[in-house]
Structure 1
């Protein structure tokens, strides 16, 4: 699977080839039409009729071929985006796997250090060492609570990403997401966009940056909640946040993230809504079981 994912889909070459073929077809028709009119006076009525039929037939084929090309181009883009998301999810799973293997590899070394410190009766040093190791292990364990490896890997990647930016990210998972009908790569798009938006919202805050991600469920729904203590979102733009092309990030934004989130959630029978005040901003969504 990894070898397959490492093969890049070169859509540009495909598009160029398709366009060139259509130009050749169109050029052939134009050449035939010009040739026909250049010898029109020399043709008898029956020959003129046959050439007209031939031209109309080729034109119909080109139009049909153009329609098929547009459709295939749309599907190719769609599959390529899906491929990119799957590749990204796989890379995140591999990174999480490397982290777990590194922890397992270092486990005996940590025990030996703690044992030696205890023998030397350096109890305070041993306690400090255990606290540091425990915190590292706890970071990974926070993200390993669902049955979905891609979601676990995404949460772990975002946790590290937030930490590097001085954001205290808390992950609260009380659902294993068993039976979630959204494909893993789609649900990762939803969570990834929401978390990235919250991280961006906190970049202007000097200190006490807090971000909380909750995954939970009830009898009928799988639910998620992304909460941050960034600035309040003005009321006059809240209704526009999920519109295609609308962004609050200026030149750094494309206005697609929240629109994609909304589309995916509603496609699977769910919804998402926003609450924001001067203390906290919350995006909460749900998906039917």
Structure 2
């Protein structure tokens, strides 16, 4: 099987996964709203609709990423955090095109992103300090950058000790920054 065919097949499989998950999630949300309406709990229905709207806006921001693997992983982390009652948001800056990154080996980079975000989410889950955390994601043709600010010194100390051995992670002021160069 040639390399171009493998890449195209890989992306079609990812797109199929996204569509399947979104359809499933949408139908679940409709059922919950319908249940609230049937129970005549209009305030709960409106509250849930607002939550769904906010979540859709966050996922929409992530859809601006050109790296499909990164998009899928971040969507999964967003859902995981939401299920734990953790509020995260994303600011996404994409300064490249799909063509710039389609032939790059992104497995290690996306895996490192995931491990770093897992550590931060776990820390958020075990600390009452966090109300909402914003993750800044920048996508360039030659690198990806992740950044988040931590305002609590003890939390920053815990995260620093957990993340200091990750290649590409550094700390500046109150920020954790991960910079991954694409090859």
- What band does the TM-score fall into relative to the shorter chain? 0.5 to 0.7
- Say if 1:286 and 1:148 are closer, same or farther in 2 by CA, change over 3 A: closer
**Mapping for residues 91-240 of structure 1, pairs under 5 Å:** 95-102=17-24, 130-175=49-94, 177-178=96-97, 179-180=100-101, 182-217=104-139, 221-229=142-150, 231-233=155-157
Corresponding residue number in structure 1 for 2:171: 274
Q: CA deviation at 1:208?
A: 2.7
For structure 2, the 5+ residue unaligned runs are: 1-9, 35-41
Aligned residues: 157
Distance, in Å, in 1 between the alignment partners of 2:26 and 2:95 is 24
Q: Secondary structure at the match of 1:233?
A: helix
**Mapping for residues 51-66 of structure 1, pairs under 5 Å:** none
Distance, in Å, in 2 between the alignment partners of 1:197 and 1:93 is 27
Distance, in Å, in 2 between the alignment partners of 1:211 and 1:92 is 27
Which of the pair has more CA radius of gyration?
1
Q: CA deviation at 1:148?
A: 2.1
TM-score (ref. length: structure 1): 0.42
Which protein is richer in strand relative to its size?
A: 2
- Say if 1:91 and 1:169 are closer, same or farther in 2 by CA, change over 3 A: farther
Q: CA deviation at 1:149?
A: 1.9
Q: CA deviation at 1:189?
A: 0.8
Distance, in Å, in 2 between the alignment partners of 1:90 and 1:226 is 30
- Measured against aligned partners, the alpha-carbon deviations of 1:113-153 in whole angstroms (never above 9, x if no partner) come to 8xxxxxxxxx9899657534423422432321212221111
TM-score (ref. length: structure 2): 0.61
Distance, in Å, in 1 between the alignment partners of 2:16 and 2:148 is 28
Distance, in Å, in 2 between the alignment partners of 1:204 and 1:133 is 25
Distance, in Å, in 1 between the alignment partners of 2:125 and 2:28 is 34
Distance, in Å, in 1 between the alignment partners of 2:131 and 2:16 is 29
Contact 2:137/2:144 (<8 A) preserved: yes
Higher relative contact order (CA 8 A, sep 6+): 2
Corresponding residue number in structure 1 for 2:164: 241
Corresponding residue number in structure 2 for 1:39: none
For structure 1, the 5+ residue unaligned runs are: 1-86, 114-122, 243-257, 263-270
Contact 2:148/2:176 (<8 A) preserved: yes
Q: CA RMSD in A?
A: 4.1
Q: Secondary structure at the match of 2:125?
A: coil
Q: Secondary structure at the match of 2:164?
A: coil
